[in-house]
Structure 1
Amino acid sequence: MRLRFRTAALAGGLLLAVTFAVAAETVATAVYSRVSKGYKREKAKDGSFMPEYYAMTNGGRIDGTTSDITVDRVSYGEVAQIARRVLATQSYHLAETKEQATLLLVLNWGSTIAPNGMHKEMNVASARAALAALGETSATANQTVTSTYGGQDVAKNAAAGFNRSPQFATNEEMAVVSAAGSVEGSFLQSLVDDRVRDRLNEANARVLGYVDDLAAANGIHRYAGGGDRYSDLIGDVEESRYYIVVSAYDFKELEQKKKRKLLWHTRVSVRSPGNNFDDTYLAMLKNASLYFGQNSGKLVRGEETKGTVELGELKYLGEAKEPVAEQPAQEDEAASDEEVEP
């Protein structure tokens, strides 16, 4: 924990020491990293990675995703600065010239769009109401004594599977037809909404790096006591999540042949509810950096600390040796900071 001591000169000749502490609040991250075939990092004799050099660019939002006020508060320069620092811990360094660069790193960040859960609930309620109405109208029609009309062979029509012709139907029979149409419409609307939901889930899973794990969890074991894993993953995908994606392309291929050859990509995300992007992107990049240029093998869940400042105990240090000059009301404190590492 880093402590910050601030000594402030107050009006009245007193010195005040205020201690600030950085609280160890954590955030749960999910990281997925994959390396393309043919890319492999070289190692030095001591086992460390050989340095690689990159250029960096802003990829912006991924299509089909969005942002919020906490995402918009963070500029590309701020994300890139932290990214450069954590990349350096894995021996990736910003190139000084284009001749030195072998990688082009593209940064994307934003928030996924959660499906509207109300649609599903409304569809289920609508289908239930339609089925109930169909049952009531059918019961009423069955109790109604229907008359026959000239030119209509009821027995022959019934044997062929036909009901009475609409022009000869009673009001009760037409009510059954209408209710049956409502049931069919409710089911069709539910199918359409489910298809939209599935497509949105698939798009979110690709952005977040959940595709492989969802496929692995969606087997027969899901119905034999192993369904919790799949449910947990779908729960993540159907919830809005902040994401950062770092994609590495072959810089020489792009510059010389205008071809985008992806060498590796690392995806990290946290749930949006309960978090702010501007408070979590440092922790997200720190956890993601452990897998830059490497295969994670699967979705890796973990926790990382994020810093928040808390006001500590106040201590009076006594009278100031020199009188404090009078200041305007908004400038009553003249402060000097000194950071002390534990």
Structure 2
Amino acid sequence: MAADETVATAVYARAAKDYKRERQKDGSFKPEFYGLANGGRIAGTGSDVTVDRVTYPEVAQIAARLLAQQNYHYAQSAKQADLMIVLHWGTTIAFNSGNYSQAVNQVATSMAGNGPQGMGSMERNMSAVPTDGAGGGGGTDESAMLMLMAENRARDQINLPNARLLGYLDDINDSDDIRRWAGGGDRYNDLMADIEESRYYIIVSAYDFDQLVNHQKKVLRWQTRVSVRAPGNRFDDSFAAMLKGASKYFGQDSGRLKRGEESKGTVELGDLKFLGEAKEQDASQAGPKK
């Protein structure tokens, strides 16, 4: 693999309003300590052979190294832990654009079959179309339109969860305005194109450790989402670059979706040793296995 090979990443990060990292005299962040959990796949998402090839210890090792660079350190005991960090990764399930294109083409064909009409001729023809849809082209038009409406609903049902999961929703809504039609660029269409194809994702979520372990409450302190397009990439040679791109925003608020290019070169682990897997359902075990 070429040393300068890169992958295009999209990162979205949010921090709780009352979460703000303290800085030390030298300007670095005050250390915080965490336990680590394997969250697995997000419901409604999937995997492929390149995702299945990557193990939790591999993801956890690189995540821990990058967290340490931001002064987040693995807790040696439950008492020391401030946060429980949960790792999720997988691939989104893409919208079937083939079915949608077929529905659009069917509507276009149906409308074209009736020939061009002005408003006046449409009004005159309304009284000639049987109300039960029998005869003429009205039934065909209606069936085609109903099919297109159904495809639009299916499209929204897939796109909306994907947009939320990937961190695209705010930017899509912000771009869905008059700028789309007034020379404001193709940002909206570009964002929609992104979420309508499969994307590899990693989500790093930091919860309040005490609330999670002692009170069984998920109080989210910060969350960073990163994704890359699946076509043309492999998760097993992209996940390190994905985490590297995400790490710049650990504990931070990105404000909006951040696009960038990250090298696929390996993240040096140095003398870091994997401290063991802390399953989410066994959150009280924050320290290393003995």
The interval holding the TM-score normalised by the smaller chain is 0.7 to 0.9
The aligned counterpart of 1:231 is 189
In the alignment, the residues of structure 2 paired with residue 218 and residue 165 of structure 1 have an alpha-carbon distance, to the nearest angstrom, of 37
- With over 3 angstroms needed to count, the CA separation of the structure-2 counterparts of 1:92 and 1:191, relative to structure 1, is same
Q: Secondary structure at the match of 1:40?
A: coil
- With over 3 angstroms needed to count, the CA separation of the structure-2 counterparts of 1:165 and 1:235, relative to structure 1, is closer
Cα deviation, 1:234-259, whole Å, max 9, x if unaligned, reads 11111111000000000101122211
Cα deviation, 1:73-130, whole Å, max 9, x if unaligned, reads 0011111111111100000111110111110111010111111111111112222333
In the alignment, the residues of structure 1 paired with residue 192 and residue 130 of structure 2 have an alpha-carbon distance, to the nearest angstrom, of 48
Q: Secondary structure at the match of 1:175?
A: coil
Alignment of 1:272-287 (within 5 A): 272-287=230-245
In the alignment, the residues of structure 2 paired with residue 105 and residue 266 of structure 1 have an alpha-carbon distance, to the nearest angstrom, of 11
Moved more, 284-293 or 252-261: 252-261
Unpaired runs of 5+ in structure 2?
116-123, 267-290
In the alignment, the residues of structure 2 paired with residue 65 and residue 240 of structure 1 have an alpha-carbon distance, to the nearest angstrom, of 10
Quick check: 1:35 aligned with 2:15?
yes
Query: In the TM superposition, what is the alpha-carbon distance from 1:182 to its structure 2 partner?
Result: 2.1
- With over 3 angstroms needed to count, the CA separation of the structure-2 counterparts of 1:121 and 1:52, relative to structure 1, is same
Quick check: 1:296 aligned with 2:276?
no
Quick check: 1:240 aligned with 2:220?
no
State the TM-score, normalizing by the size of structure 1. Answer: 0.71
Q: Secondary structure at the match of 1:260?
A: coil
- With over 3 angstroms needed to count, the CA separation of the structure-2 counterparts of 1:23 and 1:59, relative to structure 1, is same
In the alignment, the residues of structure 2 paired with residue 24 and residue 165 of structure 1 have an alpha-carbon distance, to the nearest angstrom, of 66
In the alignment, the residues of structure 2 paired with residue 280 and residue 62 of structure 1 have an alpha-carbon distance, to the nearest angstrom, of 19
Amino acid at match of 2:20: K
- With over 3 angstroms needed to count, the CA separation of the structure-2 counterparts of 1:260 and 1:29, relative to structure 1, is same
The aligned counterpart of 1:306 is 264
Amino acid at match of 1:183: D
The aligned counterpart of 1:100 is 80
* Equivalent pair of 2:9/2:260 in contact (CA under 8 Å): yes
* Equivalent pair of 1:103/1:251 in contact (CA under 8 Å): yes
**Alignment coverage as a number of residue pairs:** 258
In the alignment, the residues of structure 1 paired with residue 261 and residue 131 of structure 2 have an alpha-carbon distance, to the nearest angstrom, of 68
- With over 3 angstroms needed to count, the CA separation of the structure-2 counterparts of 1:184 and 1:287, relative to structure 1, is same
Identical columns (%): 55
Unpaired runs of 5+ in structure 1?
1-20, 136-157, 167-172, 309-342
Amino acid at match of 1:209: G
Q: Secondary structure at the match of 2:73?
A: strand
Amino acid at match of 2:46: T
Cα deviation, 1:179-198, whole Å, max 9, x if unaligned, reads 32222111011111111111
More strand, by proportion: 1
Query: In the TM superposition, what is the alpha-carbon distance from 1:200 to its structure 2 partner?
Result: 1.2
* Equivalent pair of 1:217/1:227 in contact (CA under 8 Å): no
The aligned counterpart of 2:119 is none
Q: Secondary structure at the match of 2:265?
A: strand
In the alignment, the residues of structure 2 paired with residue 233 and residue 207 of structure 1 have an alpha-carbon distance, to the nearest angstrom, of 14
- 2:162 corresponds, among 204, 207, 223, to 204
Cα deviation, 1:115-171, whole Å, max 9, x if unaligned, reads 111111111222233335556xxxxxxxxxxxxxxxxxxxxxx9xx577899xxxxx
- Asked which structure has the greater CA Rg, the reply is 1
In the alignment, the residues of structure 2 paired with residue 83 and residue 44 of structure 1 have an alpha-carbon distance, to the nearest angstrom, of 23
The aligned counterpart of 1:218 is 176
In the alignment, the residues of structure 2 paired with residue 56 and residue 283 of structure 1 have an alpha-carbon distance, to the nearest angstrom, of 20
* Equivalent pair of 1:57/1:105 in contact (CA under 8 Å): yes
Amino acid at match of 1:205: A
Query: In the TM superposition, what is the alpha-carbon distance from 1:281 to its structure 2 partner?
Result: 0.3
Amino acid at match of 1:72: D
